[in-house]
Structure 1
């Protein structure tokens, strides 16, 4: 495990945990102390989980730790850790519920595009490449436990490639995976967030489109401002210093991409990179205007846009001069995501704007061994590849009581994978990572890669 794993967790305590939806009555010093202790405990639990073989066994350690400890500070901090693992096993709805940042109206917010007038709603997939024509760098941010905020980036990569963008960088890719470019797909050792299939698909898509993929994560134990500075220097050294004509697409979490304003006691990675390169980036904000599991956490502007337009795709607002609307200064354009729809328990945004199709799977192949992991890997990739998609079939909810752990004639659970047209290796494994069933499947349709 790289030092960056600790950096990405400890570095977000003040930025994320204090913004979470949990209220508390402690004094700030007491609350901070409890957070630090909760983070220490969370790190120990995650290290224990990582000693187990297979994602399901690792998730079980995280799952039962969440049930075992119920103090407020621990739930706030550990909820974020748990949510990452939930995305890793394809449980996107629970991941969004385990850690949520309430997006209330603030004094920093600009007026709604509906109130300002002169703005028109445009599909982000069309508008962003047009905006990008005037830039040499485009930065997207994401909420790490909400893969919905990665879906637009996957889709828009092909359009940005047509505009001459030729480098792609992503937070927590590891420099130690020196074979990623030649191999053409990410593996467990490629990074942290790339264990989540849509994040892996983002990297895989960039590789297939001919982007030079860059790992820029800090390799030291740096946290906070020092980590921002080190990340920016890594990007500069690997991209703009080596290739003065480079055009970069970059994916990072939250405010790492903001172009102005204080961040973690200093400046953001994007600000430091601008100082080093002199290059102004188009910054695309995607973490404030998406639907939460609890609608009370939604930003009021999102609710207004959904009520008036009911958008079916990620949407931005552009005025008559071509200027985009942004919720807050520091970003150039803000993305509104549509209301979430579920099909057999999975969000339909996992189809990546139609690039992937639903493929039904059933627990009949699990041989009554639950939880059971169903994974689909591209046929031309190795078994070490991060799956194209996966889902843990388990009839027992996270908050189950001991009595609910006994199943009586409930039938096999069913769900859906979301896969691009093509051929796949499908496997079913138990929580000990033992193979229960395997088969080759083909998803029909146009095999063209966006």
Structure 2
């Protein structure tokens, strides 16, 4: 196994924490991991592998495969589908006093964080790896923090092998882990390079648990503060790596706490994953009904139901997850159509659900308001010489509006016509001056023929490519998006 493949496998295990604790035959789980990693560099190939492998897996391994599928869907621009297909939940919080509108107000998260960053030397923001909605905050913060004097940007998805990244100006498929293949992540790095940040890879290779946290902190210290004692560092990490106290990682001391010990600098830690829309309202009723109506004919639905049961969420009527309940309560009292934080009306303090672990809780608005309906039954997708029943597109195929990136990107119509009835069909837009192996500006997968949708693109010139499930290009066209 190559260093890169071992690194990717470790990232997958670290991301999919459930995979480490579900009972299953070790060889079966190992085969699944190996199969996924053999398709790690090609999302469409990995998508096909997972869809065709799911029906053959055990009950527990289906749940693990669904985690991989959700991450792959996210990389392919199927954002609502990714959140639907794996309702990943944070560790439940108990005895959290939900802020009341009489005492707190919702304010723009970017403005509040920039103000808090003031004299800080380290700012950390986390993400849920299968939900690109948790990446738009970092993208919006980059120019503000650069203007405030931050000069280093560290991204967990980078592996350090791409030494030409900064001089090239954009990431390519082999610049880091699979997370980086998702278009918003690609734009984060483009923007950081354009703004003049020094780009810092800090992920460890071949380690997990405490060794991984220690290695990440050590890399950040040695690559930033040991060389530049006056540095100001912005870190984009996953989940509880940004915590400044033990808890969400069990007995493991998180990376942020270890970095503070090494540098003596307390980071400003921003959480987006604890209180989020992990079970979309637009999906819950429709998907639950579909599970009961045609679950036996659909391996994806069967896997989804299994995952919900293994996570302790059998149905909407019999279970309320504490974190989701807090999210719903907050949205019922506070309304903002962009990432927001809660500020105390009297003291001006910013609310944190776990103040010992992180400084700020960022609340994202609902990702997609379009309700789903699966009354038509499953989509029968032909892959090779067989058909596989999969769930129809989430939210009736409508992509989330947050993809406009606060109006900086415009919807560009695309259809299946250039796919020539070869379904599934990937349509992706590349900046005209970047090669095909650059991370796409946006992408989407059609799973039904004779359909239309949109890509969200910035003003400029683009090359739109259509690719089949085997990676063969079906067509290409040029387009220009006006201001």
- After TM superposition, the score normalised by the length of structure 2 is 0.80
Q: 2:466 aligns with which of 425, 428, 437?
A: 428
> Is this contact kept in 2: 1:423–1:441, CA < 8 A?
yes
Equivalent residue runs for 1:10-159 within 5 Å: 10-12=13-15, 15-16=17-18, 32-34=22-24, 39-50=29-40, 54-71=42-59, 73-102=60-89, 106-107=93-94, 110-114=96-100, 118-159=103-144
> Is the contact between residue 357 and residue 418 of structure 1 (CA under 8 Å) also seen in structure 2?
yes
Shift of 1:426: 1.1
Partner Cα distance (1:321, 1:134) in 2: 19
**Once the two structures are superposed, what CA deviation does each residue of 1:171-195 show, in whole Å capped at 9, x if it has no partner?**
1311111111111111111111111
Judge conservation of contact 1:104–1:299 (CA < 8 Å) in 2. no
In 1, the alpha carbon distance for the partners of 2:43 and 2:89 equals 29
Q: Residue in 1 aligned with 2:363?
A: 336
- The answer as to whether partners of 1:142 and 1:251 remain within 8 angstroms in 2 is yes
For 1:189-338, list aligned pairs within 5 A.
Answer: 189-192=174-177, 193-219=179-205, 221-262=206-247, 263=249, 265-295=251-281, 299-319=324-344, 320-328=346-354, 329-338=356-365
Given that 2:5 and 2:37 are in contact with CA atoms closer than 8 Å, whether structure 1 keeps it comes out as: no
Partner residue, 1:414: 452
Task: Using structure 1 for the length normalisation, give the TM-score.
Answer: 0.86
Q: In 2, distance between residues paired with 1:38 and 1:137?
A: 42
Structural mapping, 1:385-424, within 5 Å: 385-395=438-448, 412-424=450-462
2-structure distance, mates of 1:163, 1:38? 50
CA 1:162–1:435: 2 relative to 1, 3 Å: same
Mapped to 2, the partners of 1:36 and 1:331 lie a distance apart of 36
Offset of residue 114 of structure 1: 1.5
SS at match of 1:194: helix
Q: Deviations over 1:361-408 (max 9, x none)?
A: 10011111111111111112222211011111121xxxxxxxxxxxxx
The root-mean-square deviation of aligned C-alpha atoms, in Å, is 2.1
Cα deviation, residue 339, structure 1: 1.5
Pairwise CA distance, 1:152: 1.2
For residue 7 of structure 1, report the CA deviation from its aligned partner.
2.1
Gaps of 5+ in 1: 19-30, 396-410, 446-450
Unaligned runs of 5+ in 2: 282-315, 371-394
DSSP 3-state at the match of 1:279 = coil
Q: Distance in 2 between matches of 1:35 and 1:112?
A: 42
Structure 1 position 325, deviation (Å): 0.2
CA contact (8 A) 1:105 1:300 kept: no
Q: Deviations over 1:143-167 (max 9, x none)?
A: 0001101111111111111111111
How far 1:17 moved relative to its partner?
5.3
Give the superposition deviation at 1:428: 1.1
Report if aligned partners of 2:13, 2:19 keep a CA contact under 8 Å in 1: no
Query: 1:119 and 1:35, CA in 2 relative to 1: closer, same or farther beyond 3 A?
Result: farther
Whole-angstrom distance in 1 between the partners of 2:221 and 2:29: 31
Secondary structure of 1:299 counterpart: helix
- Partner SS for 1:93: helix
* Mapping of residues 357-376 of structure 1, within 5 Å: 357-376=410-429
1:308 CA drift (Å)? 2.4
Deviations 1:10-69 (A, max 9, x none): 3356x5458xxxxxxxxxxxx654285564233122133348xx4322210122212332
Q: How far apart, CA to CA, are the structure 2 residues paired with 1:385 and 1:75?
A: 32
Q: How many residues align?
A: 411
- Describe the SS at the equivalent of 1:172: coil
More deviation in 301-310 or 373-382?
Answer: 301-310
Matches of 1:309 and 1:170, distance apart in 2: 31
Shift of the 140–345 alpha-carbon distance from structure 1 to 2, 3 Å rule, reads same
* Cα distance between partner residues in 2 of 1:384 and 1:150: 21
Task: Note closer, same or farther for the CA distance 1:90–1:35 as it changes in structure 2 (3 Å cut).
Answer: farther
Cα distance, 1:84 vs. partner? 1.3
Between 190-199 and 343-352, report the one with greater CA deviation.
343-352
The question of whether the paired residues in 1 share the 8 Å contact of 2:278 and 2:324 is answered with no
Match of 1:405 in 2: none
- Residue 4 in structure 1 maps to residue 7 in structure 2: yes
Task: Give the Cα–Cα distance (whole angstroms) in 2 for the partners of residues 239 and 186 of structure 1.
Answer: 21
Question: Equivalents in 1 of 2:14, 2:417: separation in Å?
Answer: 43
- Partners of 1:38 and 1:161 lie apart in 2 by 47
Tell me which moved more, 365-374 or 301-310: 301-310
Given that 1:86 and 1:94 are in contact with CA atoms closer than 8 Å, whether structure 2 keeps it comes out as yes
